[in-house]
Amino acid sequence: MDYKLLHELAFLKRDNIFKHQDGINFDKFSNRLGEVEQDPFIGFAGEDYEKEEVKVLFLGKSNAESAIDHHIIDRQINSALNSFRDLKSNYRSYANKYLEAMPRWNIMRFVTEFRNQTGLKLNQIAYANIVPWRYIGAPNNATYRVAFQYFTNQLIEAINPDLIIPLGSKLEKVIDKNLNTNNNIYISEGINREGRDKRIADSGWRTLAEAVADYKIIKEYSDADKEALVWIKKNPWFGKPNHTRATDVAIKAHKILINQGTEVNSIVYYEGIDAAVSKFCPEIIDLKK
């Protein structure tokens, strides 16, 4: 991870970034904790996050207003941020204070269920919000845009995840629109948080299952780029023992297309593979996701 960049993000001030930007409803930012609200939450990356074969970042919308029973821990997180900012302590001290607070958040039930299904521990994941300040309700598009410009893109560059799991329905569209990176990052479907984080609704379970499937595919095909992973997810038969013929056809089609000079991961490339599989293994069509 790029701890130097994380240190730079610790110096961001809310008003300096948002006060004079177009389209920002500044009244939506929380002021419950006074001057503390000027400082960002720069996100959590667990102690073992960097060691993971598939590095997972859970990305939410914004920090909610500080609840009365969370005031003490929220101020402690801010104090740890100031210590990191002044280099009186390192990032890990800040992250550990974050770690104390996370189990108290209702939103973490989605993270916990994902971890239950993948075997990951809290210290093996990363968690952050697009807007790293406390906000009332969901931010608008202008707020997301500015947050990505000054914070979120740099954070993602610093922690370099392989998989981003958006904590919010349709949030993947916001991320895909604003993300600016050359890294190979797969963005999962946004987890539906219907029920206001008090429970996991049917739509939440479905989108959680999609996120778990994405994680497993990326882990199995660790060298594949984003476009290839999308194709593999749409073709769950690929690489499976009971569909070796179809897999062989796809691989042969890949080689032929390469020899013909077709650009890998282009629309023409995948259309060529799909056409070959459909021609020689028509039974596969019913298995496409």
Give the pLDDT band of residue 46 (cuts 50, 70, 90).
very high
Read off the DSSP letter of residue 148.
I
Quote the pLDDT of residue 240: 86
Per-residue pLDDT averaged across 210-226, rounded? 91
Are the C-beta atoms of 159 and 126 separated by less than 8 Å? yes
pLDDT averaged over the chain? 93
Give the pLDDT band of residue 33 (cuts 50, 70, 90).
very high
pLDDT higher than 60, residue 289: no
Cα gap 54→188, rounded to integer Å: 13
Which amino acid is located at 178 in the chain?
A: N
Give the pLDDT band of residue 139 (cuts 50, 70, 90).
very high
pLDDT higher than 70, residue 76: yes
Cα gap 263→35, rounded to integer Å: 53
Q: β-strands 126-134, 56-63: how paired?
A: parallel
Give the pLDDT band of residue 284 (cuts 50, 70, 90).
confident
Quote the pLDDT of residue 288: 63
Which amino acid is located at 134 in the chain?
A: R
Per-residue pLDDT averaged across 120-137, rounded? 96
Give the pLDDT band of residue 287 (cuts 50, 70, 90).
low
pTM above 0.85, yes or no: yes
Give the pLDDT band of residue 185 (cuts 50, 70, 90).
very high
Cα gap 14→12, rounded to integer Å: 7
Are the C-beta atoms of 188 and 54 separated by less than 8 Å? no
Are the C-beta atoms of 54 and 218 separated by less than 8 Å? yes
Which residues touch 52 (CB under 8 Å, ≥6 apart)?
Answer: 120, 124
Per-residue pLDDT averaged across 278-284, rounded? 87
Helix (H, G, I), strand (E, B) or coil at 133: strand
Helix (H, G, I), strand (E, B) or coil at 59: strand
Read off the DSSP letter of residue 188.
P
User: Which two tokens mark 64?
Assistant: 């909610």
Measured in Å, how far apart are the chain's first and last C-alpha atoms? 35
pLDDT higher than 90, residue 199: no
Quote the pLDDT of residue 206: 94
Quote the pLDDT of residue 239: 87
Cα gap 145→178, rounded to integer Å: 6
Quote the pLDDT of residue 55: 97
Quote the pLDDT of residue 270: 92
Q: What residue ranges define each of the domains in the chain, with the CATH number in brackets?
A: 3-222 (3.40.470.10), 235-287 (no CATH)
Read off the DSSP letter of residue 58.
E
Per-residue pLDDT averaged across 28-53, rounded? 95
